[in-house]
Structure 1
């Protein structure tokens, strides 16, 4: 049996990668959200009491801390885009497998994929086109590999985001005049 004939194995690999990406991305998204909420609450407290706090922390440090937090917030939005892509891809993958099992033999999967692609906007459309082309060519693990790749990129974004949040808080704390 050639590598191209291992359809069931390819589907299994794609499914396992998709499930792994789903679990990892859900966890990272929650961590990112709580981290942003906590740091945002701390900065809100600082900013709402700026007259008092500015006697202990220079305004330049407060400003830098807020800027670093805003970068972390932008990274949070970016990682959320990855979360949405990964979770949607996993859910669609599950449903497509279920519907595919019940489809008639003469069902035109290529037509379905092309019609779905029409509803997707760029830059997501590039990812979808890449995955659809792979699936049409018989590489049924491609969507799972893409989700795993996106999940790993998301992890790096969350790590960088964490660095900016920590830096934001370090700037505020190190600026304390005690």
Structure 2
């Protein structure tokens, strides 16, 4: 019985196609559709992979800034090595500089949390993941202080963090 109904509907549409074709939406309908599409595209960037990566970096930056303020970055033998090893000293100076820069920019990003609540949830969730990864990097440095590649990678990581925070600020425009 369902097949007959489909056949009747199909034949009705076929027989009355001309009556359907002359109807077209008004310009107001198209304007409303375009506005809705425009609104969706504004919120989609929060869910993009690039934004997620930037949010993760922001979380790491916040975490590292908190670590610097409370416990300090280097302890024990690493801090002692900093007195002797100029590369460790350079790392400490770079960490302090980038932590200050990133911390200031994070304060600007936090102002956007009220306007965009999704941003706060994503940033904080991603920051927790990044904090775990960053702690692993610190362990590697403590275990292998003489490795120049680790030190250079950490300094480059700080440069990248600053670039990412700048990119997030450029995207959110709060």
Asked whether the two chains share a fold, i.e. TM above 0.5, the reply is: no
What is the TM-score with the length of structure 1 in the denominator?
0.34
What is the TM-score with the length of structure 2 in the denominator?
0.34
Q: Select the structure with the greater relative contact order (CA < 8 A; seq sep ≥ 6).
A: 1
